Chains A and B, each alone.
Chain A
Amino acid sequence: MLASPFRFLAVAVFVLVVGLCATRPPAGRAYGDKDKHEEKGGHAHVPAPTQYADIHVPLSVWTDAAMIARGKEIYTTRCAVCHGDGGDGKGPAGLALPLKPPDFRDKDGVAEMRDNYWFWRVSEGGQVEPFKGKGSAMPPWEGQLSVEERWAVMAYQHTFSGHQGPHVPWEHPESVAMGRDIYAMACVMCHGVAGKGDGSVGPMLSPRRAPQPRDFTSAEFKFRSTPSGQLPTTADLFCTVTEGVRSSGGPMTIGLQGHRIMPSFRYMPEAQRLEVIEYVKSLNRGFWERREIKTVAVPAAPPVTPERLSRGKQLYADAECLACHGERGRGDGPSAPTLKDNRNLPIAATDLTKPERFKNGARPEDVYRTLMTGLAGTPMPSYADSLEPDQAWDLVFYVLSLSRGGRTSAAGTR
């Protein structure tokens, strides 16, 4: 009787041991488990951080023979010792590494790498997470190779995959597959399948009035840190996705927390927000065609004084803010009833006495940025060419003083 359970236990342990023997042993004490892709010498699927997210390789680089030749020269002297002359990740030094270099001949693996991710990897190598924690020995080339040289190396590495065209999302939809899936679940109802802002639910949020969901294929994005007429940065898009868009909205927005016409996605993991932004960007080739990205500088806010508020009040009248926003800032100026957006839909002038509903944020720096960038597609212009920074601050503080008690930084932050 007593032997039976022991026998059962012994057999169970024996089966377990046989099972363990059949599986592979741990890869290494220092490096732990690696997923299948990395064993092949692949890459981790993580979005590039925002400081690299806007660095897209010019389309011509990928197929420019001179750039590819320049890249080959650099690759041969600096990269091939690990990555191999044939790009197979089997250079003599690479074979000794715990985390194997990727195989650039793996066209599927290469297709999944976005250009900004690739540039980030070449620039910072394995010195950043999550690669550092995995024991990557990839050196950072940022200090040794110029931006153009890094692009050239990437263009040469890209040739190993056999792909002939530029390495962009519309050539490699798999590179934004995760973002596309998130978009399909969280965004498509309002922004539409093609991102034109024509989703089925969107118009119900604010029937026959602005604001309507953004058309991602157009050049007009309201909330930016970039000058008037330019596309936003990835960080701007991240801010909008994270914070949502505040508005009085229509009857369908009642359930959206904090008077938001677009919900906040702050509880979505950061990596997923970045993935969906990469998909949104892939809908607009302008993100790849722009070269230099400038952002509006927001100088340090000066102290608020009665004189500053007085000057701001005068500017409010001189700049014709009151024509739309009204003398007391309630959005009831004489022009307010006639305002229309770029879709010819009626649009309300913002009620400046309710900073919690400022779409672009209600901190002093947010209002300053809004004055300088304007809100593309709406009657709100950019004052970057007509106001000096100090004047802009005068106006900012006057605008914020219009709300009861001057509620500013606590309300409506973005």
Chain B
Amino acid sequence: MTKALFAIVAFFVVGLVGAAFAVTDEAPISGTVKAIDHSANILTLQTTAKGTTRDVTILLKPDSKIVKFARATEPGKTGFVEQPLTPSDLKPGWAVSVTTKHEVGKEVAEVVTVILEK
């Protein structure tokens, strides 16, 4: 009986921890583009969290989406439209926000949003 109860509790704990990690993986990371290694498809971001500045390396996969927003130029439209970019468009110094997923010890970019081009 006790063992079964422990098994249930362990199941919940593992589930909770797993869920927490799954959620945090989806939290966006904002920072400044420090470097882009086009051969390895690695984006290095300088980001600050909890008062500590650190470099975060993010893998850009072919299905990683890179976008910026610009004013619609079509007559009658005033909102923003999403413009797709390629990794080669990214420049050091740009401010970006990246949603990532965690894959085998690496941060893999899902969407890279350009906040400010400098």
Contacts and interface: CB of A to CB of B under 8 A. Distances in A.
B47 A30 contact: yes
Contacts of A30: 27, 29, 47, 49, 56
A135 B20 contact: no
Interface in A1-25: 3, 6-7, 10-11, 13-14, 17-18, 20-21, 25
A18 B6 CA distance: 15
A269 B13 CA distance: 41
B108 to A, nearest CB: 14
A397 B31 CA distance: 53
A133 B27 contact: no
Interface footprint category on B = 35 or more
B85 interface: no
B77 to A, nearest CB: 12
A135 B80 contact: no
Contacts of A32: 49-50
Contact of B48 (A26, A29, A80, A132): A132
A97 B49 contact: no
28 contacts: A6-B2, A6-B6, A7-B2, A10-B9, A11-B5, A14-B8, A14-B12, A25-B19, A26-B24, A27-B27, A28-B27, A28-B28, A29-B27, A30-B29, A30-B49, A32-B49, A77-B71, A82-B115, A93-B69, A96-B111, A97-B97, A98-B97, A132-B48, A132-B51, A135-B30, A135-B47, A135-B48, A139-B115
Nearest to B26: A28
Contacts of B115: 81-82, 93, 96-97, 137, 139
Nearest to A33: B50
Given A13-B9, A97-B97, A133 B23 contact: no
Contacts of A91: 69, 80
A105 to B, nearest CB: 18
A31 to B, nearest CB: 5
B30 A25 contact: no
B82 to A, nearest CB: 7
B74 to A, nearest CB: 16
Contacts of A77: 71
Interface string B42-66: 0000011111110010000000000
A28 to B, nearest CB: 3
A142 interface: no
A80 B114 CA distance: 14
Contacts of A135: 29-31, 47-49
A320 interface: no
A129 interface: yes
B30 A98 contact: yes
Interface in B82-118: 82, 95, 97, 99, 111, 113-116
A140 to B, nearest CB: 10
Nearest to A95: B113
Contacts of B24: 25-29
Contact of A14 (B2, B9, B78): B9
Contacts of B97: 93, 96-98, 137
